[in-house]
Copies of this chain bind each other. A is one copy, B any other.
Amino acid sequence: MFVLDERLQQDTCWLADLPLCRVLLMNDARYPWLILVPRVAAVSEVFELDEAQQHQLWDESRLLAQAMQGVFAADKMNIATLGNVVRQLHMHLVVRVEGDESWPAPVWGRGAAVPYSESGQDAVRKQMLQALERSGLEVALA
């Protein structure tokens, strides 16, 4: 049974479901940042998914990353599954722009997250929904 990790729950808000993954918006206004979490029982490595799920995770990641790059005019997309702290398997999709707070270093463990204002979150949520639509993936919003 799929249960979202508490730390992920605390740091993000729910945006949509894709065929395999829950799509979470990282509550950090410094970077447009999504986290994809396969809705499966506890796994921590991609290769613990079955073959079909591994391919689906990749398709959801790469198609959504591509759409995010378009919507946010990213200079570089960072796509990563680390999981050293939160062991539940999750994939980071982070929009990077030259000159952003951590550029060119990775975003993890640099400074403190800056929570969105209500209007800021509304705005980025709209853009993320645009990206989901552009991705061509089957999206469930509810």
Binding site for B on A (CB under 8 A): 44-47, 54-55, 58, 62-63, 65-66, 69, 76-85, 87, 96, 103-106, 108-109
Contacts and interface: CB of A to CB of B under 8 A. Distances in A.
Contact of A78 (B47, B82, B103): B82
A105 B82 CA distance: 9
A78 B79 CA distance: 11
B65 A47 contact: yes
Contacts of A78: 80-84
Contacts of A87: 76
B83 A82 contact: no
A65 to B, nearest CB: 7
Contacts of A109: 105-106
A76 B44 contact: yes
A86 to B, nearest CB: 10
Given A47-B65, A62-B46, A66-B45, A96 B84 contact: yes
B76 A47 contact: no
